[in-house]
Amino acid sequence: MLRDITIGQYYPQESIIHRLDPRVKILATFVYIVALFLVKNFTAYGYILLFLGFSVLLSKVPFSYMIRGLKPLFLIIILTFAINVFMTKGEVIYQLGPLDITKEGIRQAVFMGTRLILLIIGTSLLTLTTSPIQLTDGIEKLLNPFKRFGMPAHELAMMMTIALRFIPTLLEETDKIMKAQMARGADFESGNIINRAKSLVPLLVPLFISAFRRADELAMAMEARCYRGGENRTRMKELALHGRDFIASLITLLMLAVVILDRLIM
């Protein structure tokens, strides 16, 4: 299960999506999220799905790899579906004890489940196609206008990127600890959900110790290289917008305009 988590991982590939400016991809992801929450019917989902499918196809990231990232969140998706099915009032089509399953509830459950799935896949495309260094530079450039208000743009960008990059590292460390404890007789798979959750408690102490050790090693490595933050910092590759970036921005804004138009008409 831990190997299925793709959040924070980078999938190296030679594609037009990988070559896009990180600022464009970050803003496009933000516009994509806004468009998702503006959707009011399944027709608009079709427009977003077309946009997402086209983006995944151009990224050359295997679709099976992206779908794999949904497995760890399968329980959340099912819970969202169940809450909407049983909590939405309307025309009752089936009674399950004290709970009513309504026609409107099923529609709302499918609607919200689709939104959650599209949200996970769309946002994961950002980290899969953007290296940590590019992501840091992109976030810093976008936060630069706020420096005049005293915001430490470079430090914030660095912290967010390191936190995102540490997710797969900590997952890998968790997998090693689980295998070590299973070799000593620990059982993480039998019993109900509550028992499984309790069996994961002994993982927390060694995991926290490992996380603090890695953080200390990273801090020492940065100090050894005379890291001093964003002041007078130079880059080997400066960010620059190209024609493909403007085309990608135009397509993203067109998708948002279509969703807004569909919402106003419907």
What does the DSSP 8-state code read for residue 185?
Answer: T
Helix-, strand-, coil-residue percentages of the chain, each rounded to 5: 75, 5, 25
- The band of 55, judged by pLDDT with boundaries at 50, 70 and 90, is very high
Most confident of 59-73, 74-88, 250-264: 250-264
Residue 134 or 99, more confident: 134
Q: What is the mean pLDDT of residues 203-213?
A: 82
165, 182 Cβ separation under 8 angstroms: no
Give the Cα separation of 51 and 114 in Å (integer): 15
The chain-wide mean pLDDT, for the chain, equals 81
- The band of 6, judged by pLDDT with boundaries at 50, 70 and 90, is low
Q: What is the mean pLDDT of residues 73-86?
A: 81
pLDDT of residue 106: 84
Q: 92-96 and 99-102 as β-strands: parallel, antiparallel, unpaired?
A: antiparallel
Give the Cα separation of 127 and 59 in Å (integer): 12
- The band of 107, judged by pLDDT with boundaries at 50, 70 and 90, is confident
* Cα 120 versus chain centre, distance: 6
Where exactly are the structural domains of the chain?
2-265
Instruction: Write the DSSP string, 197-214.
Output: HHHTGGGHHHHHHHHHHH
* pTM listed for this prediction: 0.77
Residues 6+ apart with CB under 8 A from 88: 102, 104, 105, 108, 109
Is 60 exceeded by the pLDDT of residue 39? yes
pLDDT of residue 4: 53
E-strand spans in the chain? 92-96, 99-102
